[in-house]
Structure 1
Amino acid sequence: MHIGIAPPIVIAHPAVRADWELGAGIAELTAIARTADRLGYHHLTCSEHVAVPTDVAVERGGTYWDPLATLGFLAAQTTGIRLATQVLVLGYHHPLAIAKRYGTLDVVSGGRLVLGLGVGSLREEFDLLGAHFDDRGARADDALAALRASLSQPRPEYHGTFYDFDGVVVEPHAVQPRVPLWIGGRTLRSLRRAATLGDGWVPFGLSLDESCVLLAKVDLPEGFEVVLSAGAPLDPIGSRDSVARALERRRDAGTTVVSATLASTSAAHYCEQLEALRLLGNELGLSFRTATEDRIRP
């Protein structure tokens, strides 16, 4: 089981935001990303919302750093950690726009892109952007198939229900032969979509038990990633035993990648927590990247 981080600062979600994040910015985020990279963590994430209605922001938060700009900057500050969108809303983008923009990110990062993708649920944002909401599931399925046909191809071709293109050149394109697609969601339909069209499932808003109930209903393909949250923010310095139990429970449930948030009082403390979690992960037999793996990336 690998472990990655959902870093602070880039999302100001009321449920997990620490007070120190309000005055923090790119310098603190860079220090955290470099530390996670040096310690061999699997990935770091950045989510997407363009414009959150003020009443919704009370519950979900209103700060969401743009993932392309953020991950592009962090690509230049790191060498091996994967850069994961968690998640892009498929309905907000044409598949070729994703292929071009994030294919370029894959190039400049040396093949470190993970595309987390979701159908989306915030109707107000769809309406604001002029995106289709009522048939967004069917459109997302078609977009996923179009992306799979396009991401690593200089001359993509696809003929589907909503997206149809050929005779075009998209350069640069992703350098990974198969960019990992992690599909977000919290329903059985999202899991089936992930198992059919993606490479992993990254649920949100579900407990471990609820995730396991859904996972038991679907036959997953070989190599499929089950990417589960570590739950409440982890405190490996102050609550080492409870963190160990949380990670062991997820490993026993078949999780292949954990995406963790960490309790912290400052950026420096966050980096100390990363150090402590790496030591604990070593004892538990979790997988961390090595310098050799960094050197053999595409």
Structure 2
Amino acid sequence: MRLGLHALGIGTGAEPAVIRAVAGAAERSGFATLWAGEHVVMVDESDSPYPYSDDGTIAVPADADWIDPMIGLAFAASATSRIGLATGVLLLPEHNPVIVAKQAGSLDKLSGGRFSIGIGIGWSREEFEALGIPFERRAARTADYVAAMRTIWRDDIASYTGEFTTFASIRVHPKPQQRRIPVLCGGNSDAALRRVAQWGDGWYGFNLRDVDDVAAKVATLRGLCEQVGRDPAELRLSVALREPRAPEAGRLAELGIDELVLVASPPQDPVAAAQWVTDLATDWQ
């Protein structure tokens, strides 16, 4: 089972020197993927429950720096040559899918085919309202946008007709080096797992309580795959635990998890941040 690192883009992980140090050290230390999440808008007081904590609140302060993940990962790509890059997650229904397809294709080309796009439907009504995008039916919008982006990546002259986006005979270049960028669906709910089974290339389960929680989600996902006639072995499964422990890695691998993602904030000093990454890798070897 591979190790990923979700440490870039927020707070200390948004500093250029720290991004370079963490990215380079992660590659040297054998991490498989660098992950970066997204919020376009934060508010001081939200009525929208955060789905990845017991109390419904997000731990990141509203005034923290939060780098756009496409830009941050492009910056990290320039400091590395082998490590994978993934959004974890980009809130797709908040964006124009043609622009995201262009950005993703550009990042994949510049990184040499190392990019995976993790996407989510979003949870903050206030964020959608600030962007002028309907909060309702965001899951259907997301599925529509994914289909549109895959059409753009695949076809030199792309046409698509959907409920939320339509275009005819357009050229969007560069094409990604992979031609079809892996789309990883974030979320821990049954509805999120259903999206994985129906049209995702993989799953990014975030802030799961423990290995038993992972096992329950994997069992649900396998059942959903059976319902739609899909082989769950086709999916790339990545998870982040609230309190990961090295002895649990073996059981996660037995469950079919491909990558355990460690979520943490690096030190502010770039030299200390590089050593922090090396120490993390050593703890998990």
Q: Shorter-chain TM-score category?
A: 0.7 to 0.9
Partner of 2:237, secondary structure, is strand
Match of 1:155 in 2: 157
Shift, 1:264, TM fit: 6.0
Task: Give 1:268 deviation, angstroms.
Answer: 3.7
Task: Name stretches of at least 5 consecutive residues in structure 2 with no aligned partner.
Answer: 47-56, 226-231
Deviations 1:82-127 (A, max 9, x none): 1111111111112111111111111111111110100001000100
Q: 1:74 maps to what in 2?
A: 76
2:7 corresponds in structure 1 to 7
CA contact (8 A) 1:230 1:247 kept: no
Relative to the length of structure 2, the TM-score reads: 0.83
The match for 1:228 among 192, 214, 239 is 239
Q: Please give the secondary structure, in 1, of the residue aligned with 2:172.
A: coil
Let me know the Cα RMSD of the aligned residues.
Answer: 2.3
1:52 maps to 2:54: no
Please, which runs of 5 or more residues in structure 1 have no aligned partner?
13-20, 235-242, 283-298
- Asked if the contact 1:45/1:86 (under 8 Å) is kept, the reply is yes
Distance in 2 between the 1:160 and 1:222 partners?
Answer: 29
Look up the equivalent residue of 1:11 and give its one-letter code: I
TM-score, reference length from structure 1 = 0.80
Higher percent of residues as strand: 2
Q: Deviations over 1:171-202 (max 9, x none)?
A: 11211032111101120110110122111111
Name the counterpart of 2:112: 110
Q: 2:125 aligns with which of 111, 123, 126?
A: 123
Q: How does 1:108-257 map to 2 (within 5 A)?
A: 108-208=110-210, 209-219=212-222, 220=225, 221-232=232-243, 243-257=245-259
Letter in 2 for 1:74: A
Q: Distance in 2 between matches of 1:177 and 1:280?
A: 36
Checking the alignment, whether the CA contact within 8 Å between 1:87 and 1:116 is kept in structure 2 is yes
Q: Which moved more, 1:174-183 or 1:223-232?
A: 223-232
Deviation of 1:152 (Å): 4.1
Paired residues in the alignment total 263
Separation of aligned partners in 1, 2:154 and 2:73: 19
Give yes or no for contact 1:11–1:65 (8 Å, CA) kept in 2.
yes
The answer to whether structure 1 residue 39 and structure 2 residue 37 are counterparts is no
> Which whole-Å CA distance do the structure 1 matches of 2:82 and 2:148 have between them?
28
Instruction: Report the alpha carbon displacement of residue 281 of structure 1 after superposing the two structures with TM.
Output: 4.5
